[in-house]
Amino acid sequence: MKKISRRSFVKAAGTVLALTALTACGGSAGSTAASGSTASSAASGSAAASSEALSADVQAIVDRGVLKVGVKNAVKGFSFQDTLTGEYTGLEDSLAEMIAEHLGVDVEFTTVTAATRGELLDSGDIDCVLATFTITDERRKSWDFSTPYYTDYVSVLVEDASGIKELADLKDKVVGVSSGSTSARALVQAMIDASVISGDGFDADTFNADTWKDGISFRQYDDYPAISTALSAGEVDGFCVDKSILAIYKTDGRSYIDAEFSPQEYGIATKKGSGFSALCDELVTGWLADGTIDGLIKDNGLD
């Protein structure tokens, strides 16, 4: 699903976006592109972008007039799409809008999953991914990543009635994970480190959640709501992913196990060696330095 936003300014409450080429004009997703303040901001952004020595790929985005961004649609705090209005809200949506603002263009959101985000970036359907995309050495071989804008940890959500409380209780259980994610590998590594399982034959580089059966097994799902439903139905004994995502599904009668592991650093993924990669990193570094991202993290309840 795609949605074009002409939101001309996104601001963390009480935070001034001080980076050059960002002009505060207080627009909203429902604002018309014809408003005077919106037109002024877009013109300012375009002028700033065109005054820079842009790489060919960045210039192509400016000429197109739309930044195409892959985001998730069911991760509150990071990226969540309202089913009635179609609007996306969250830390990652705000960052995408701010990048578009810097370039003086609109932003088009395309819903991605852990399994599709890399494919859509490779095919050119999107220019970048902001979708709780964990930075790993293996992924760096395929894509560029910006400086991390958020760090999380992996954990496991369980039904209280299961009696599962710690890593040792997961031995010989079935755990639900998202297709294409690193969560299964992180959980196996944590269980090995805790001496819950031997880890014979474990290789982080070749690990496959579909085939791993030594002391724990996994079922992969296309999205997080599906894993939550599977947990309720008893199809899986646990739901493993980054804790900030699990928080959305921690309802009455569910708890986290007593373990956090595998720090997950989220970055903006872009095509390998692209000029846009350098621009995204420059912007993220600036927003980290001036407190803008900290403000957005607090506003979205992720602190």
Total residues found in the chain within this entry: 303
pLDDT at 94: 98
pLDDT at 2: 62
pLDDT of residue 96: 98
* Res 243: pLDDT: 92
pLDDT at residue 4 in the model: 62
pLDDT bracket for residue 115 (50, 70, 90):
confident
Q: What is the pLDDT of residue 70?
A: 98
User: What mean pLDDT value characterizes the chain?
Assistant: 86
For residue 110, the model assigns a pLDDT of 97
Q: Which domains does the chain have, with CATH numbers?
A: 2-149+268-299 (3.40.190.10), 152-264 (3.40.190.10)
User: What is the per-residue pLDDT for 8?
Assistant: 36
SS (HEC) of the chain: CEEEECCCCCCCCCCCCCCCCCCCCCCCCCCCCCCHHHHHHHHHHHHHHHHCCCCHHHHHHHHHCEEEEEECCEECCCEEECCCCCCEECHHHHHHHHHHHHHCCEEEEEECCCCCHHHHHHHCCCCEECCCCECCHHHHCCEEECCCCEEEEEEEEEEHHHCCCCHHHHCCEEEEEECCCCHHHHHHHHHHHCCCCCCCCCCCCCCCCCCCCCCEEEEEECCHHHHHHHHHHCCCCEEEEEHHHHHHHCCCCEEECCCCEEEEEECCEEECCCHHHHHHHHHHHHHHHCCHHHHHHHHCCCC
* Residue 181, pLDDT score: 86
Q: What would the mean pLDDT of 19-23 be, rounded to a whole number?
A: 36
What's the average model confidence in pLDDT over 179-204? 94
Per-residue pLDDT for 23 more than 50?
A: no
Where does the pLDDT of residue 244 fall: very low under 50, low under 70, confident under 90, or very high at 90 and above? confident
Query: Distance between CA atoms of 94 and 100, rounded to whole angstroms?
Result: 10
pLDDT value at residue 3: 61
Structure tokens at 12: 């963390």
Are 271 and 144 contacting, i.e. CB atoms less than 8 angstroms apart?
Answer: yes
> Using one digit for the tens of pLDDT, what is the confidence trace for 118-164?
999 999 999 999 999 999 999 999 999 999 999 999 999 999 999 99
pLDDT for residue 10 = 38
Over range 224-233, report the average pLDDT: 96
Over the stretch 59-87, which tens digit does the pLDDT of each residue have?
A: 999 999 999 999 999 888 999 999 999 99
Res 114: pLDDT: 86
238's tokens: 């646990």
Q: Is the pLDDT reported for residue 20 higher than 50?
A: no
Least confident of 21-30, 94-103, 212-221: 21-30
- Mean pLDDT comparison of 21-25, 41-45, 287-291, highest-scoring range: 287-291
pLDDT over 70, % of the chain: 83
- Looking at residue 1, its pLDDT comes to 54
